[in-house]
C-alpha cells in the first residue's frame, strides 16, 4: 500500500491512551483490519487512498470491532490533527503542506518561517520547507560537482580562460532556472557559486574544461548523477538527521550567499586598522555572521599616543564602536549580530574589562572573555605572593603588578553577578595547535560563543548531527544506538561542510583567502540528552560519560578519516605542508592524554595516512550552540542536558504545559501523563526529582541541567573536549546560592580537566533572567550532588595544594560526609526574562540566550 501503516497504528495507540487502556498489540491488529478494508475497496500502491479516506476507515473499523470508546478518542485525535494542519498552513501562509511541512512539528515550522524561509519584498513567505532544503542541498552539491573527474584534475597545470567564466556573472538573470541537475533546477545564485568555484580552481590550474564546455555538459545532462548527491544532502536535513549553521540555511542559493557563522577579525593599534576592522565587522553582520575580536593589542587607557601627543581611550571604548555598529546592522536583515570581545589577562586594563558588564546596558551585543596563558596559571598556583605583571601592549614592558588570586576572584565575582566574563584557556587551545607554525603564532581569538578558535580573517562553517535520530528499535521495544549509521552520517556531513567552503560567498576578500587556506570546518552534535533518554542512561553517570566519550571519539576519527579521503581526491588544504601534520602531530588531546588501550580506533594508522596524503581540513570538529537548529530538528541542544522536562506556556487564550516529547511518551506508557503531573514538574523547576508520583528509575534517568551538579557539567564538557578538535559550547549551570568562591573553584577544575574555555551561569545572575520556567512560589524538592566520577577525579588527580583546597572546599569533599548543595528557587526568578522579538520566555544554554517560542537567539551558529 502507498502509505505508512505504522502511522495508523500509532494514531490508534495514542487514541487508546485517552481510554486509559493502551495496548500496542491491539492497535496493530486493528491496523491490519483497516488495511484489509482499504484493499477490498481497490486501493493499492498505484492507487493510494487519501488521508481523509484512511481516517474514515479507521473510525469505521473501530466501531465495527466494538471499540466505541477508542473511536470517540480517535475522532478527537483526528480533530486535533486537523487543527495542527491548519495551524501549520497559517504559519507558512499556504493552502497546501509539502511533505517536509507535514513531518515537522509546529514549533519547527514557526522557527523556519520566522527567519529561514525566503520572503518577497512584501515580507511574504515565498517558499516551503521542502523548497528551502532543496535550495540548500543543490548549492552544496555544486561543491561536489566542481571536483568531478570530468572537469577537475588535482594536478595544477591546466590553463583556462578566467574572463570567459566571469563574463557569465553579468548575465545570471538569463540563466535563472534554465539549467538543471536531474530534476533540480539551478537558480541564478546557484550559477553564481558555480562560476566562483570554477574561477578559484581555474586560477590554480585544476580545470580541464572551459567554462562554456562545463555549461554545455550540464545542459547535456552529463552531471545528472549528482542529483543523487542533492538527494542525499536534502534527506539529511529534511529527515532532521543533520542541519548546517543558520547562515547556510538562510543564504544558500539566495542573494546574500554567505554561509558561515563564525569569523575572527584583528584589531591593530592604529586608527586606520581599527576602522578597517569596524567596516569588515559591519559586512559580516550584514551577511549573517558573528565576530570575535581580541582587543589586547590596543594600548591601555591613559597611555600616550605619540602621533597626536594625546591620551589613549583604551580597548573598552573601541568595543563600544563595534557594539554600536552591531546595533544598527542586522544579520541578513533578520537579527542583530553577536560579538566576542577578548582581553588577555596581562593587559593593564584587565580589571576594568572584567567588571565592565556587571552593570546593565553595557556592551549588550557582546559576550566578553578573559584569555589566560601558562604564566598566569604558574603564578596563581605556585607562587605564594601571587604577584603577576600587567604589561604594555606596545612593548610588553611591565606597567604594574596585581595579585593573581585576587584577580581570579574578581573575575569569579563578576561572573557570579552577571554571567560574564567567560574564560578562554589559550594555553589549552594552543597545546595541540598544529597550525601555529603555518600562521606564525598561537591562536588568540574565538567566535562569539567561544567554541571555535580562529586566526584573523578565518571563518568556519558549522553543522550538527542529531544523535537522537540515530537509534534503532530492538525486538523488545528498547532503543540501541546505530553506530554504522552514525559513521555514514559523519562521512556525509564532513563532505557537506567541506563543499560549503567552496560555494560560500564570503563578505570580504581577506576572509575568502584565509578560509580557503585552512578549509576549517566544525562538525558537531545535538540531541545528546534526548539520545541518553531513549537509551535509558543517566547523563551524569559513568555509563553516560562512557557513551559520550565513544560518540566524541567516533565523530572526530571518522570526520578526519573522511577529510583524508577528500584530500586524496580534491587536494589537501593549501597550508597543510607548513603545519605539523607532516610531522605526525594531530589536534586531538585524547590521542595523547588517554592510554592507547582506551582508544577505540586506529589513530596511528590515520596519522600515517595524513603524513602520506595530507588532510583536506585543518580541523574538522566543533560542538557549537544549536539553539534554533535544535528547535528545527526537535531535539535537545548540543551536548547540553535538557533545560526542563515540562514548563508552562502562556498563549493568547490562556496557558498550558509543554512537555519534552520523550518524557511525555514515558509518562503516557506508565499512565502518569496528566496536567496535574505536568504542573508539579513545571513547579519543580522542570525536574522529576523528589516528586512522589514519579518512579525512582525515571527520576534517575531523566535528569535536567538543574539536576546536575556544576562539577558534572564540567566533567561532561571534558569528556567531549578530549576528542573534539576545536572546543565546546557549554553552559556550566549553577544554582542561585553558590558563592563567588564556587565560581573560582569551577575555573580551577575546568583548567585541570583540560577544557579550552568556560562559561558559568548562576541562576538569577543576569540582569534579564533567562532561565524563567517557574513561578515565584516554586520550591525545589531535591538536592544536587557531584557524581562519584567527579569526586574520584578530584581525589586521584589534583595534586596542587591550592587547587585541591579550593575545589575540595567548594565540593564539600570530606571523609565520611555527604556532598549536598541546596537551592532556594523562590529567590531566583526576577522579572524581565522576555524575548525581544515575541515577548515570551528565554532560556540560557551553550552560552546563549534562546527563546523557546520563536527561536530567537543571540548566537549566530544555531
Residues with catalytic roles: 447, 449, 451
CB 600 within 8 A of CB 554: yes
Distance, in Å, from the CA atom of 857 to the CA atom of 89, rounded to the nearest integer, reads 25
- Strand (E) or helix (H) holding 402: strand 398-403
Paired sense of beta strands 339-344 and 366-372, if any: parallel
Distance, in Å, from the CA atom of 138 to the CA atom of 187, rounded to the nearest integer, reads 10
Q: Indicate left, alpha or beta for 361 from its phi (over 0: left) and psi (-120 to 50: alpha).
A: left
Beta bridge partners of 819: none
Q: Extract the C-alpha cell encoding 47.
A: 492507487
Distance, in Å, from the CA atom of 53 to the CA atom of 40, rounded to the nearest integer, reads 13
Backbone phi and psi for residue 526, each to the nearest 5 degrees, phi listed first:
-145, 170
Tally of residues, the chain:
862
CB atoms under 10 Å from CB of 89, counted, come to 15
Distance of CA 601 to the CA centre of its chain: 25
Beta bridge partners of 612: none
CB atoms under 10 Å from CB of 824, counted, come to 12
Paired sense of beta strands 335-336 and 330-331, if any: antiparallel
CB 192 within 8 A of CB 199: no
CB 705 within 8 A of CB 643: yes
Nearest to 469 by CA among 551, 541, 526, 546: 526
Instruction: Taking each helix axis as running N to C, give the angle between helix 106-115 and helix 68-92, from 0 to 180 degrees, rounded to the nearest 10.
Output: 0
Sign of CA dihedral 663, 669, 674, 677: negative
Distance, in Å, from the CA atom of 636 to the CA atom of 138, rounded to the nearest integer, reads 28
Distance, in Å, from the CA atom of 283 to the CA atom of 322, rounded to the nearest integer, reads 12
Distance, in Å, from the CA atom of 40 to the CA atom of 493, rounded to the nearest integer, reads 45
What count of Cα atoms within 13 Å lies in the side-chain half-sphere of residue 561? Answer: 17
Question: Does residue 337 sit in helix, strand or coil?
Answer: coil
- The residues, any chain, with a CB within 8 Å of residue 29's CB and separated by 6 or more, are none
Distance, in Å, from the CA atom of 862 to the CA atom of 850, rounded to the nearest integer, reads 10
Q: How far is CA 362 from CA 264, 366, 369, in A?
A: 22, 9, 15
Please write down the long-range contacts of 676-682, taking CB distance under 8 Å and 24 or more positions apart. 678/646, 679/648, 681/645, 681/646, 682/644, 682/646, 682/647, 682/648, 682/657, 682/773, 682/774
Q: Write the DSSP string, 161-190.
A: -HHHHHHGGGGGGGGTTTEEETTEEE-HHH
Nearest to 686 by CA among 479, 829, 811: 829
- The residues, any chain, with a CB within 8 Å of residue 822's CB and separated by 6 or more, are 735, 737, 783
User: How far is the first Cα of the chain from the last one, in angstroms, to the nearest whole number?
Assistant: 39
CB 818 within 8 A of CB 722: no
Amino acid at each position: 500500500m502507498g502509505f505508512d501503516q505504522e502511522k495508523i497504528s500509532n494514531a490508534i495507540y495514542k487514541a487508546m491512551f485517552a481510554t486509559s487502556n493502551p495496548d500496542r498489540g491491539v492497535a496493530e491488529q486493528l491496523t491490519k483490519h483497516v488495511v484489509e478494508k482499504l484493499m477490498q475497496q481497490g486501493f493499492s500502491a498505484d492507487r493510494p487512498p487519501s488521508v481523509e479516506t484512511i481516517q474514515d476507515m479507521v473510525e469505521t473499523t473501530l466501531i465495527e470491532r466494538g471499540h466505541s470508546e477508542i473511536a470517540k478518542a480517535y475522532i478527537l485525535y483526528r480533530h486535533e490533527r486537523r487543527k495542527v494542519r491548519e495551524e501549520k498552513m497559517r504559519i507558512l501562509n499556504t493552502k497546501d503542506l509539502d511533505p517536509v511541512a507535514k513531518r515537522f512539528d509546529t514549533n519547527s515550522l514557526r522557527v523556519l518561517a520566522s527567519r529561514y524561509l525566503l520572503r518577497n519584498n512584501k515580507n511574504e513567505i515565498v517558499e516551503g520547507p521542502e523548497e528551502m532544503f532543496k535550495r540548500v542541498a543543490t548549492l552544496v552539491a555544486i561543491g561536489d560537482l566542481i571536483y568531478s573527474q570530468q572537469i577537475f584534475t588535482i594536478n595544477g597545470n591546466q590553463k583556462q580562460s578566467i574572463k570567459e567564466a566571469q563574463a557569465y556573472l553579468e548575465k545570471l538573470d538569463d540563466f535563472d532556472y534554465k539549467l538543471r541537475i536531474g530534476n533540480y533546477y539551478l537558480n541564478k545564485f546557484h550559477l553564481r557559486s558555480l562560476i566562483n568555484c570554477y574561477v578559484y580552481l581555474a586560477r590554480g590550474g585544476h580545470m580541464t574544461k572551459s567554462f562554456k564546455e562545463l555549461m554545455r555538459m550540464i545542459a547535456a545532462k552529463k552531471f545528472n548523477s549528482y542529483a543523487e548527491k542533492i538527494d542525499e544532502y536534502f534527506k539529511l536535513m529534511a529527515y532532521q538527521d543533520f542541519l548546517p549553521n543558520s547562515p547556510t540555511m538562510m543564504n544558500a542559493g539566495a542573494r546574500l550567499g554567505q554561509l558561515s557563522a563564525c569569523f575572527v577579525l584583528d584589531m591593530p593599534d592604529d586608527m586606520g586598522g581599527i576602522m578597517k576592522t569596524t567596516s569588515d565587522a559591519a559586512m559580516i553582520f550584514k551577511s549573517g555572521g558573528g565576530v570575535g575580536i581580541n582587543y589586547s593589542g590596543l594600548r591601555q587607557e591613559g597611555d600616550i599616543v605619540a602621533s597626536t601627543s594625546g591620551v589613549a581611550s583604551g580597548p573598552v571604548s573601541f568595543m563600544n564602536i563595534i557594539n554600536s555598529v552591531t546595533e544598527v546592522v542586522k544579520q541578513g536583515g533578520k537579527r542583530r549580530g553577536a560579538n566576542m570581545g577578548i582581553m588577555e589577562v596581562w593587559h593593564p586594563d584587565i580589571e576594568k574589562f572584567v567588571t565592565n558588564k556587571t552593570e546593565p546596558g553595557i556592551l549588550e551585543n557582546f559576550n566578553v572573555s578573559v584569555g589566560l596563558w601558562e604564566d598566569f596559571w604558574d603564578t596563581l598556583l605556585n607562587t605564594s605572593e601571587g604577584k603577576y605583571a600587567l604589561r604594555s601592549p606596545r612593548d610588553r614592558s611591565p606597567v604594574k603588578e596585581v595579585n593573581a588570586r585576587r584577580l581570579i576572584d574578581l573575575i569569579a565575582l563578576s561572573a557570579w553577578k552577571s554571567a560574564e566574563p567567560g574564560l578562554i584557556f589559550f594555553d589549552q587551545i594552543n597545546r595541540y595547535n598544529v597550525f601555529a607554525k603555518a600562521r606564525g603564532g598561537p591562536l588568540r581569538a574565538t567566535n562569539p560563543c567561544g567554541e571555535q578558535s580562529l586566526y584573523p580573517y578565518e571563518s568556519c562553517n558549522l553543522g550538527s548531527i542529531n544523535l537522537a535520530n540515530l537509534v534503532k528499535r530492538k525486538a523488545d521495544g528498547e532503543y540501541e544506538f546505530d553506530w554504522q549509521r552514525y559513521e555514514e552520517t559523519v562521512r556525509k556531513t564532513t563532505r557537506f561542510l567541506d563543499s560549503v567552503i567552496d560555494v560560500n560567498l564570503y563578505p570580504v576578500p581577506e576572509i575568502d583567502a584565509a578560509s580557503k587556506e585552512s578549509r576549517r570546518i566544525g562538525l558537531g552534535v545535538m540531541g545528546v540528552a534526548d539520545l541518553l533518554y531513549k537509551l535509558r542512561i543517566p547523563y551524569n553517570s559513568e555509563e553516560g560519560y562512557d557513551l559520550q566519550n565513544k560518540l566524541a571519539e567516533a565523530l572526530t576519527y571518522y570526520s578526519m578519516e573522511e577529510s583524508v579521503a577528500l584530500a586524496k581526491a580534491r587536494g589537501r588544504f593549501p597550508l597543510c605542508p607548513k603545519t605539523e601534520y607532516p610531522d605526525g602531530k594531530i589536534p586531538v588531546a585524547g590521542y595523547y592524554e588517554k592510554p592507547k588501550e582506551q582508544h577505540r580506533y586506529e589513530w596511528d594508522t590515520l596519522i600515517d595516512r595524513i603524513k602520506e596524503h595530507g588532510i583536506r581540513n585543518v580541523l574538522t570538529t566543533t560542538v557549537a550552540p544549536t539553539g534554533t537548529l535544535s528547535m528545527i530538528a526537535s531535539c535537545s541542544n548540543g551536548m547540553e542536558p535538557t533545560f526542563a522536562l515540562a514548563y508552562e506556556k502562556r498563549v493568547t487564550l490562556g496557558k498550558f504545559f509543554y512537555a519534552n516529547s520523550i518524557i511525555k511518551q514515558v509518562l503516557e506508557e506508565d499512565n502518569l501523563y496528566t496536567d496535574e503531573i505536568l504542573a508539579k514538574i513545571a513547579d519543580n523547576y522542570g525536574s522529576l526529582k523528589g516528586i512522589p508520583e514519579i518512579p525512582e528509575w525515571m527520576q534517575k534517568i531523566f535528569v535536567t541541567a538543574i539536576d546536575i551538579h556544576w562539577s558534572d557539567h564540567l566533567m561532561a564538557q571534558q569528556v567531549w573536549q578530549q576528542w573534539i578538535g576545536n572546543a565546546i559550547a557549554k553552559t556550566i549551570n549553577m544554582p542561585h546560592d553558590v558563592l563567588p568562591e564556587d565560581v573560582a573553584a569551577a575555573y580551577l577544575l575546568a583548567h585541570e580537566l583540560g577544557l579550552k574555555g568556560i562559561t558559568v551561569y548562576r541562576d538569577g545572575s543576569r540582569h534579564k533572567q533567562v532561565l524563567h520556567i517557574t513561578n515565584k512560589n516554586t520550591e525545589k524538592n531535591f538536592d544536587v550532588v557531584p557524581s562519584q566520577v567527579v569526586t574520584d577525579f578530584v581525589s586521584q588527580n589534583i595534586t596542587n595544594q591550592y587547587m585541591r583546597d579550593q575545589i575540595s572546599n567548594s565540593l564539600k569533599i570530606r571523609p565520611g560526609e555527604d556532598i549536598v548543595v541546596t537551592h532556594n528557587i523562590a529567590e531566583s526568578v526576577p522579572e524581565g526574562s522576555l524575548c525581544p522579538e515575541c515577548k515570551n520566555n528565554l532560556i540560557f544554554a551553550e552560552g546563549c540566550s534562546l527563546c523557546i517560542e520563536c527561536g530567537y537567539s543571540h548566537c549566530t551558529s544555531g
